[in-house]
Protein backbone atom coordinates (compact mmCIF):
# COMPACT_ATOMS: atom_id res chain seq x y z
CA UNK A 1 0.00 0.00 0.00
CA UNK A 2 1.32 3.45 -0.94
CA UNK A 3 0.68 6.91 0.43
CA UNK A 4 1.50 10.29 -1.10
CA UNK A 5 3.22 12.70 1.28
CA UNK A 6 5.67 14.42 -1.00
CA UNK A 7 5.88 14.63 -4.81
CA UNK A 8 9.26 12.84 -4.53
CA UNK A 9 7.40 9.71 -3.36
CA UNK A 10 6.91 9.01 -7.08
CA UNK A 11 9.85 8.49 -9.41
CA UNK A 12 10.01 10.54 -12.61
CA UNK A 13 8.92 7.44 -14.55
CA UNK A 14 5.95 6.90 -12.23
CA UNK A 15 4.98 10.54 -12.63
CA UNK A 16 5.13 10.12 -16.41
CA UNK A 17 2.74 7.18 -16.18
CA UNK A 18 0.45 9.17 -13.88
CA UNK A 19 0.37 12.12 -16.30
CA UNK A 20 -0.25 9.80 -19.27
CA UNK A 21 -3.19 8.35 -17.37
CA UNK A 22 -4.49 11.84 -16.51
CA UNK A 23 -4.19 12.84 -20.19
CA UNK A 24 -6.17 9.75 -21.19
CA UNK A 25 -8.83 10.55 -18.59
CA UNK A 26 -9.10 14.05 -20.07
CA UNK A 27 -9.66 12.57 -23.55
CA UNK A 28 -11.93 9.65 -22.60
CA UNK A 29 -13.67 10.47 -19.31
CA UNK A 30 -16.48 7.97 -20.01
CA UNK A 31 -13.99 5.08 -19.93
CA UNK A 32 -13.28 5.85 -16.28
CA UNK A 33 -16.80 6.67 -15.08
CA UNK A 34 -17.30 3.39 -13.19
CA UNK A 35 -13.76 2.48 -12.14
CA UNK A 36 -14.33 3.32 -8.47
CA UNK A 37 -17.85 1.99 -8.04
CA UNK A 38 -18.24 0.75 -4.46
CA UNK A 39 -15.17 2.72 -3.27
CA UNK A 40 -15.20 5.60 -0.81
CA UNK A 41 -12.90 8.59 -0.46
CA UNK A 42 -12.68 10.32 2.93
CA UNK A 43 -11.71 14.00 2.84
CA UNK A 44 -10.39 15.03 6.26
CA UNK A 45 -9.74 18.76 6.11
CA UNK A 46 -8.54 20.44 9.30
CA UNK A 47 -7.78 23.65 7.36
CA UNK A 48 -9.81 25.71 4.88
CA UNK A 49 -9.91 24.64 1.24
CA UNK A 50 -12.03 25.17 -1.83
CA UNK A 51 -10.19 23.69 -4.81
CA UNK A 52 -8.27 20.87 -3.23
CA UNK A 53 -11.18 19.35 -1.32
CA UNK A 54 -13.76 19.86 -4.05
CA UNK A 55 -11.43 18.62 -6.77
CA UNK A 56 -10.75 15.45 -4.77
CA UNK A 57 -14.47 15.00 -4.29
CA UNK A 58 -15.23 15.65 -7.98
CA UNK A 59 -12.43 13.27 -8.95
CA UNK A 60 -13.93 10.45 -6.88
CA UNK A 61 -17.48 11.16 -8.08
CA UNK A 62 -16.26 11.24 -11.72
CA UNK A 63 -14.85 7.76 -11.12
CA UNK A 64 -18.21 6.48 -9.88
CA UNK A 65 -17.14 6.32 -6.24
CA UNK A 66 -18.55 8.14 -3.25
CA UNK A 67 -17.26 10.63 -0.72
CA UNK A 68 -17.46 11.14 3.04
CA UNK A 69 -15.58 13.56 5.25
CA UNK A 70 -15.38 16.87 7.06
CA UNK A 71 -14.20 20.27 5.95
CA UNK A 72 -13.64 21.89 9.32
CA UNK A 73 -11.69 20.59 12.30
CA UNK A 74 -14.33 22.15 14.56
CA UNK A 75 -16.97 19.74 13.28
CA UNK A 76 -14.74 16.67 13.81
CA UNK A 77 -13.66 14.94 17.01
CA UNK A 78 -10.38 16.88 16.82
CA UNK A 79 -12.34 19.55 18.69
CA UNK A 80 -12.76 17.00 21.53
CA UNK A 81 -9.03 16.31 21.54
CA UNK A 82 -8.85 13.20 19.36
CA UNK A 83 -5.41 12.57 17.82
CA UNK A 84 -4.84 12.29 14.08
CA UNK A 85 -3.60 8.72 14.67
CA UNK A 86 -6.88 7.68 16.28
CA UNK A 87 -8.97 9.52 13.69
CA UNK A 88 -7.29 7.75 10.78
CA UNK A 89 -7.75 4.35 12.40
CA UNK A 90 -11.45 5.10 12.59
CA UNK A 91 -11.59 6.50 9.03
CA UNK A 92 -9.81 3.34 7.80
CA UNK A 93 -12.94 1.40 8.86
CA UNK A 94 -15.20 3.61 6.74
CA UNK A 95 -13.29 4.48 3.58
CA UNK A 96 -10.87 3.04 1.01
CA UNK A 97 -8.63 6.10 0.64
CA UNK A 98 -8.18 9.38 2.51
CA UNK A 99 -7.09 12.89 1.51
CA UNK A 100 -5.97 14.89 4.56
CA UNK A 101 -5.13 18.57 5.01
CA UNK A 102 -3.73 19.73 8.33
CA UNK A 103 -2.18 22.94 9.69
CA UNK A 104 0.63 20.97 11.36
CA UNK A 105 3.61 19.94 9.26
CA UNK A 106 3.88 16.14 9.22
CA UNK A 107 0.34 15.39 10.47
CA UNK A 108 -0.63 13.42 7.31
CA UNK A 109 2.62 11.45 7.69
CA UNK A 110 1.66 10.50 11.25
CA UNK A 111 -1.76 9.48 9.93
CA UNK A 112 -0.15 7.38 7.16
CA UNK A 113 1.94 5.49 9.70
CA UNK A 114 -1.24 4.38 11.49
CA UNK A 115 -3.50 3.91 8.50
CA UNK A 116 -4.64 0.76 6.79
CA UNK A 117 -5.78 2.74 3.72
CA UNK A 118 -3.73 5.02 1.41
CA UNK A 119 -3.37 8.56 2.77
CA UNK A 120 -2.78 11.56 0.51
CA UNK A 121 -1.25 14.72 1.93
CA UNK A 122 -3.58 17.49 0.74
CA UNK A 123 -1.35 20.18 2.32
CA UNK A 124 0.44 20.13 5.68
CA UNK A 125 1.12 23.55 7.18
CA UNK A 126 3.87 25.45 5.38
CA UNK A 127 5.53 22.20 4.34
CA UNK A 128 4.28 20.30 1.26
CA UNK A 129 1.32 20.15 -1.10
CA UNK A 130 2.08 17.25 -3.45
CA UNK A 131 -1.24 17.11 -5.30
CA UNK A 132 -0.99 20.80 -6.19
CA UNK A 133 2.42 19.97 -7.63
CA UNK A 134 0.95 17.12 -9.67
CA UNK A 135 -1.60 19.65 -10.93
CA UNK A 136 1.12 22.19 -11.77
CA UNK A 137 3.28 19.62 -13.56
CA UNK A 138 0.38 18.21 -15.56
CA UNK A 139 -0.60 21.77 -16.57
CA UNK A 140 2.94 22.54 -17.75
CA UNK A 141 3.34 19.22 -19.52
CA UNK A 142 -0.05 19.51 -21.26
CA UNK A 143 0.43 23.11 -22.38
CA UNK A 144 4.16 23.10 -23.13
CA UNK A 145 4.67 19.45 -24.08
CA UNK A 146 7.62 18.93 -21.71
CA UNK A 147 8.85 19.31 -18.15
CA UNK A 148 12.50 20.12 -18.80
CA UNK A 149 14.58 23.07 -20.03
CA UNK A 150 12.63 25.93 -18.53
CA UNK A 151 13.42 29.14 -16.71
CA UNK A 152 10.72 29.32 -14.07
CA UNK A 153 10.06 32.34 -11.86
CA UNK A 154 8.40 31.66 -8.50
CA UNK A 155 7.09 34.87 -7.03
CA UNK A 156 5.59 35.93 -3.69
CA UNK A 157 5.63 34.07 -0.40
CA UNK A 158 8.38 31.54 -0.97
CA UNK A 159 8.93 31.07 2.74
CA UNK A 160 5.53 29.77 3.80
CA UNK A 161 4.13 28.72 0.41
CA UNK A 162 3.97 24.92 0.53
CA UNK A 163 3.04 24.70 -3.15
CA UNK A 164 6.38 26.36 -3.97
CA UNK A 165 8.36 23.94 -1.80
CA UNK A 166 6.74 20.90 -3.40
CA UNK A 167 7.06 22.25 -6.94
CA UNK A 168 10.74 23.14 -6.55
CA UNK A 169 11.50 19.65 -5.19
CA UNK A 170 9.65 17.99 -8.03
CA UNK A 171 11.12 20.14 -10.82
CA UNK A 172 14.65 19.74 -9.49
CA UNK A 173 14.68 16.23 -10.99
CA UNK A 174 14.24 17.45 -14.57
CA UNK A 175 17.09 18.57 -16.85
CA UNK A 176 17.84 22.20 -17.64
CA UNK A 177 15.63 23.92 -15.06
CA UNK A 178 16.70 27.37 -13.90
CA UNK A 179 14.80 28.71 -10.88
CA UNK A 180 14.32 32.45 -10.40
CA UNK A 181 13.06 33.06 -6.86
CA UNK A 182 11.33 36.43 -6.64
CA UNK A 183 10.44 37.53 -3.12
CA UNK A 184 10.93 40.24 -0.53
CA UNK A 185 13.85 39.58 1.81
CA UNK A 186 11.53 38.34 4.60
CA UNK A 187 9.80 35.76 2.39
CA UNK A 188 12.80 34.09 0.73
CA UNK A 189 12.83 30.30 0.24
CA UNK A 190 13.59 28.35 3.43
CA UNK A 191 17.26 27.60 4.15
CA UNK A 192 16.78 23.83 3.83
CA UNK A 193 15.51 24.22 0.27
CA UNK A 194 18.46 26.46 -0.67
CA UNK A 195 20.79 23.81 0.77
CA UNK A 196 19.10 21.10 -1.30
CA UNK A 197 19.49 23.18 -4.45
CA UNK A 198 23.16 23.81 -3.68
CA UNK A 199 23.83 20.18 -2.86
CA UNK A 200 22.34 19.07 -6.19
CA UNK A 201 24.22 21.85 -8.03
CA UNK A 202 20.96 23.20 -9.43
CA UNK A 203 20.79 26.52 -11.17
CA UNK A 204 18.95 29.29 -9.30
CA UNK A 205 18.99 32.97 -8.44
CA UNK A 206 17.13 35.06 -5.87
CA UNK A 207 15.86 38.52 -6.79
CA UNK A 208 13.47 41.10 -5.40
CA UNK A 209 12.15 42.88 -8.51
CA UNK A 210 9.71 40.99 -10.73
CA UNK A 211 9.90 43.51 -13.62
CA UNK A 212 13.61 42.92 -14.20
CA UNK A 213 13.38 39.16 -14.71
CA UNK A 214 10.07 39.08 -16.60
CA UNK A 215 11.61 38.94 -20.14
CA UNK A 216 13.61 35.79 -19.47
CA UNK A 217 10.87 33.61 -17.92
CA UNK A 218 9.21 30.66 -19.66
CA UNK A 219 6.90 30.13 -16.69
CA UNK A 220 5.81 32.43 -13.90
CA UNK A 221 4.35 30.84 -10.76
CA UNK A 222 2.61 33.51 -8.67
CA UNK A 223 1.62 32.89 -5.04
CA UNK A 224 -0.34 34.68 -2.36
CA UNK A 225 1.22 35.90 0.88
CA UNK A 226 0.18 33.20 3.40
CA UNK A 227 -1.55 35.33 6.03
CA UNK A 228 -2.41 32.37 8.29
CA UNK A 229 1.26 31.49 8.78
CA UNK A 230 2.37 34.98 9.90
CA UNK A 231 3.12 35.67 13.53
CA UNK A 232 1.81 39.21 13.38
CA UNK A 233 -0.73 41.04 11.26
CA UNK A 234 1.51 44.12 10.78
CA UNK A 235 4.10 42.13 8.84
CA UNK A 236 1.36 40.63 6.71
CA UNK A 237 -0.14 44.02 5.91
CA UNK A 238 3.30 45.39 4.98
CA UNK A 239 4.07 42.50 2.62
CA UNK A 240 0.73 41.48 1.17
CA UNK A 241 0.79 43.79 -1.86
CA UNK A 242 4.51 43.60 -2.49
CA UNK A 243 3.82 42.10 -5.92
CA UNK A 244 0.90 42.78 -8.22
CA UNK A 245 1.11 41.29 -11.70
CA UNK A 246 -0.47 43.80 -14.08
CA UNK A 247 -1.03 44.07 -17.83
CA UNK A 248 1.88 46.48 -18.01
CA UNK A 249 4.23 43.93 -16.44
CA UNK A 250 2.89 41.22 -18.77
CA UNK A 251 4.00 43.37 -21.72
CA UNK A 252 7.59 42.68 -20.69
CA UNK A 253 7.04 38.90 -20.80
CA UNK A 254 7.57 36.48 -23.67
CA UNK A 255 4.62 35.76 -25.91
CA UNK A 256 4.60 32.12 -24.87
CA UNK A 257 5.26 32.58 -21.16
CA UNK A 258 2.62 30.89 -18.97
CA UNK A 259 1.34 32.37 -15.72
CA UNK A 260 0.36 29.76 -13.13
CA UNK A 261 -1.07 30.25 -9.64
CA UNK A 262 -2.27 27.54 -7.23
CA UNK A 263 -5.12 29.89 -6.21
CA UNK A 264 -6.72 31.41 -4.19
CA UNK A 265 -5.58 34.72 -5.63
CA UNK A 266 -5.86 37.69 -3.32
CA UNK A 267 -4.36 40.75 -4.98
CA UNK A 268 -1.12 39.50 -6.52
CA UNK A 269 -2.57 39.13 -10.01
CA UNK A 270 -4.70 41.97 -11.24
CA UNK A 271 -8.00 40.72 -12.71
CA UNK A 272 -7.12 42.53 -15.96
CA UNK A 273 -4.53 39.80 -16.58
CA UNK A 274 -7.18 37.04 -16.53
CA UNK A 275 -8.07 37.53 -20.22
CA UNK A 276 -4.47 37.25 -21.34
CA UNK A 277 -4.12 33.85 -23.10
CA UNK A 278 -0.88 33.31 -21.15
CA UNK A 279 -2.81 33.32 -17.86
CA UNK A 280 -3.61 29.64 -17.31
CA UNK A 281 -4.49 29.52 -13.60
CA UNK A 282 -8.13 28.66 -14.20
CA UNK A 283 -7.20 25.96 -16.73
CA UNK A 284 -4.87 24.61 -14.04
CA UNK A 285 -7.90 23.86 -11.85
CA UNK A 286 -9.27 21.46 -14.51
CA UNK A 287 -5.98 19.60 -14.70
CA UNK A 288 -6.20 19.24 -10.92
CA UNK A 289 -9.27 17.04 -11.27
CA UNK A 290 -7.76 14.79 -13.97
CA UNK A 291 -4.56 14.29 -12.05
CA UNK A 292 -6.41 13.50 -8.80
CA UNK A 293 -8.52 10.95 -10.68
CA UNK A 294 -5.31 9.37 -11.95
CA UNK A 295 -3.82 9.44 -8.45
CA UNK A 296 -6.85 7.78 -6.82
CA UNK A 297 -6.81 5.01 -9.45
CA UNK A 298 -3.08 4.50 -8.98
CA UNK A 299 -3.14 4.36 -5.17
CA UNK A 300 -6.15 2.04 -5.19
CA UNK A 301 -4.28 -0.14 -7.69
CA UNK A 302 -7.13 0.02 -10.17
CA UNK A 303 -4.89 0.57 -13.20
C1 LIG B 1 -2.75 26.45 -1.89
C2 LIG B 1 -2.55 25.87 -0.50
O3 LIG B 1 -3.52 25.48 0.14
O4 LIG B 1 -1.39 25.80 -0.11
N5 LIG B 1 -4.08 26.37 -2.33
C6 LIG B 1 -4.47 25.27 -3.01
O7 LIG B 1 -4.57 24.20 -2.46
N8 LIG B 1 -4.66 25.40 -4.33
C9 LIG B 1 -2.20 27.81 -2.05
C10 LIG B 1 -2.64 28.87 -1.08
O11 LIG B 1 -3.48 28.64 -0.22
O12 LIG B 1 -2.14 29.98 -1.23
Ligand 1 center from residue 242 Cα (angstroms): 19
138 shares its domain with 273: yes
231 confidence band (pLDDT: 50, 70, 90): confident
pLDDT at 52 over 90: yes
Averaged over 264-284, what is the pLDDT?
A: 97
Computed over every residue of the chain, the mean pLDDT equals 96
Predicted pLDDT of residue 171 = 97
Predicted pLDDT of residue 75 = 82
131 is catalytic: no
202 shares its domain with 264: yes
Q: Is the CB of 51 under 6 A from ligand 1?
A: yes
Predicted pLDDT of residue 28 = 98
Q: Is the CB of 224 under 6 A from ligand 1?
A: yes
Q: How many domains does the chain have?
A: 2
Percent of the chain with pLDDT over 70: 100
141 shares its domain with 245: yes
Averaged over 46-60, what is the pLDDT?
A: 95
Tell me which residue of 81, 9, 92, 1 sits closest to 44, measured CA to CA.
92
153 shares its domain with 184: yes
Averaged over 175-198, what is the pLDDT?
A: 97
Predicted pLDDT of residue 44 = 97
52 is catalytic: yes
Predicted pLDDT of residue 132 = 98
Q: Are β-strands 119-124 and 40-45 bridged in parallel, bridged antiparallel, or unpaired?
A: unpaired
54 shares its domain with 193: no
Predicted pLDDT of residue 73 = 86
1 domain-assigned:
no
Predicted pLDDT of residue 54 = 97
Instruction: Give the range among 137-141, 208-212, 226-230, 264-268 with minimum mean pLDDT.
Output: 226-230
63 confidence band (pLDDT: 50, 70, 90): very high
91 domain-assigned:
yes
pLDDT at 79 over 90: no
Q: Is the CB of 65 under 6 A from ligand 1?
A: no
122 domain-assigned:
yes
Out of 129, 141, 224, 261, pick the active-site residue. 129
Q: Higher confidence at residue 230 or residue 141?
A: 141
Query: Exposure string (b/e) for 28-49, b if CB count within 10 Å is 16 or more?
Result: eeeebeebbeebbbbbbbbbeb
Predicted pLDDT of residue 78 = 84
Residues 62, 32 contacting (CB under 8 angstroms): yes
Residue 210 to residues 155, 159, 172, 243, 256: CA-CA distances in angstroms?
8, 17, 22, 8, 17
65 shares its domain with 204: no
Predicted pLDDT of residue 74 = 85
Query: Going by CA atoms, what residue is nearest to atom 8 of ligand 1?
Result: 262
pLDDT at 129 over 90: yes
Testing ligand 1's pocket by substitution, the residue of 157, 262, 267, 282 carrying the most ligand atoms inside 8 A of its CB is 262
pLDDT at 13 over 90: yes
Out of 35, 39, 40, 101, pick the active-site residue. 101
246 domain-assigned:
yes
Averaged over 29-42, what is the pLDDT?
A: 98
Predicted pLDDT of residue 80 = 86
16 domain-assigned:
yes
129 is catalytic: yes
Ligand 1 center from residue 38 Cα (angstroms): 30
35 is catalytic: no
pLDDT at 203 over 90: yes
Is 58 exposed, middle or buried, given 0-12, 13-18 or 19+ CB atoms closer than 10 A?
Answer: middle
Domain that holds residue 18: 7-127+288-299
Ligand 1 center from residue 216 Cα (angstroms): 26
Q: What is the CATH number for 237? A: 3.40.50.1370
pLDDT at 76 over 90: no
Atom of ligand 1 nearest to the CA of 161: 4
93 shares its domain with 150: no
Amino acid sequence: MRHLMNPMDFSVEELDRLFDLAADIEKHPEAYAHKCEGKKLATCFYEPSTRTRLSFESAMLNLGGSVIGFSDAGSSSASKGESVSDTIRVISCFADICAMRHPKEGAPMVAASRSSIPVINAGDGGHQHPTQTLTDLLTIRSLKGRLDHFTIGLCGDLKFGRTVHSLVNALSRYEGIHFVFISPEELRIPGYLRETLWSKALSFEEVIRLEDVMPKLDLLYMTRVQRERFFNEEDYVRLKDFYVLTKAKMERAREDMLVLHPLPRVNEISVEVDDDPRAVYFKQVRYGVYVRMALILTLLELV
